[in-house]
Amino acid sequence: MFSQQQDNMEVTALCIKLLSLMMMLLCEHDQKVNAASLHIDPNRAQFFEYESLTFYCEGISYCEVVHESKGKISSCNKTNNITLTGSSCILRNVYTDESGEYWFDAGGGNKSNSVNITITDGSVILEIPALPVMVGEAVTLRCRNKTTSSETLAEFYKDGVFIGNSATVNSIIRSVSKSDEGLYKCSISGVGESAESRLTVGESHQSLPDITSPSTPWIIATVFLVILLVVVVLYHFGKDDWNKG
């Protein structure tokens, strides 16, 4: 038979074990949420020469972006900035040979996601998100003339097939689905054609609430705490009854 003091110590040890397990689960989830990822602003896959863009390296304190053939971007060194969620750096006056794939080294040989951008010396770009869009989101494709922003007629193509023209230069996909993935380009009559860029469609986070919802660990934590409370309360009532009896 255990003495009451030993029993209390056992319960305390059990509580500490449960609490540390809970903290571990919460921390693991946070690491997943803050997984190293690369974003760009503006979020588009095509740029005219001499435009600027900002890279955001989420989950890492020094944004050191790598270009597929040029290696580490030197201007990232000069413009590095700490943000609330990571770090950022600016690429100014982009040039055609800076087109291509970008990523950053997330440590331990891991790479972040990569982002493809095309920089053109032509007169038309297609504004299309560089990052994957989620199923169900609305996406605006915009065909832009370098020198005028006046409304003109633009033609849009997906995988080389004409998909429609739009007098407002905007083509809106109201609710994106996996079948909207593909290579898009546009042209403005008498001006020119844009480069082609890929629209990537990711799975919606909302459709998997049990795995990816940020509230999930807090629900788990609450359930843990309630169970813990019930165990402690039952233990004390049980002990009192046992002592009385």
Ligand X SMILES: *[C@@H]1O[C@H](CO)[C@@H](O)[C@H](O)[C@H]1NC(C)=O
Regarding 43 and contact with ligand X (CB under 6 A), the answer is no
Smallest gap from residue 223 Cβ to ligand X (A) = 26
Q: Does 67 bind ligand X (CB under 6 A)?
A: no
- The pattern of x and - marking residues 129 through 148 that bind ligand X according to CB under 6 A reads ----------------xxxx
- What amino acid is encoded at 134 in this protein? M
Residue 52 sits in the site that holds ligand X (CB under 6 A)? no
Q: Which is nearer to ligand X, 8 or 100 (CB)?
A: 100
Using the minimum distance from each CB to ligand X, give the nearer residue, 114 or 206. 114
Q: In angstroms, rounded to a whole number, what is the distance separating the alpha carbons of residues 119 and 168?
A: 24
Q: Which of residues 161-190 bind ligand X (CB under 6 A)?
A: 188
191 sits near ligand X (criterion: CB under 6 A): yes
Q: Could you say whether residue 150 binds ligand X (CB under 6 A)? A: yes
CB 146 within 8 A of CB 123: yes
Q: What φ, ψ does residue 207 adopt, rounded to 5°?
A: -80, -5
Q: How far is the CB of 126 from ligand X (least distance, A)?
A: 15
Among 81, 93, 140, 206, binds ligand X (CB under 6 A): 81
Give the angle 133-88-134 at the CA atoms, nearest 5°.
10
Indicate the residue among 3 and 150 with the shorter CB distance to ligand X. Answer: 150
Binding mask 87-116 for ligand X (x = CB under 6 A): ---x----------x------xxx---x-x
The token pair at 184 is 């898009």
Residue that the structure tokens 């903290």 belong to: 23
8: part of which helix (H) or strand (E)?
A: helix 4-33
Rg (CA), the chain: 27
Q: Are 82 and 51 in contact (CB under 8 A)?
A: no
Please select the residue that binds ligand X; options are 8, 79, 170, 216, rule is CB under 6 A.
79
Q: How far is the CB of 198 from ligand X (least distance, A)?
A: 5
For residue 217, cis peptide bond before it (omega within 30 degrees of 0): no
Q: Does 216 interact with ligand X (rule: CB under 6 A)?
A: no
Residue 129: how many CB atoms within 10 A of its CB?
A: 19
Contact status, residue 143 vs residue 167, Cβ threshold 8 Å: no
Judged by beta carbon, residue 152 or residue 170, the one nearer ligand X is 152
Minimum CB separation from ligand X for residue 240, in Å? Answer: 48
Backbone angles phi, psi at 186, to 5 degrees: -145, 165
DSSP assignment letter at 111: B
Q: What tokens appear for 124 in the block?
A: 């038309």
159 lies in the binding site for ligand X (CB under 6 A): no
User: Which residues lie near ligand X (CB under 6 A)?
Assistant: 77, 79, 81, 90, 101, 108-110, 114, 116, 123, 145-148, 150, 152, 188, 191, 198, 200
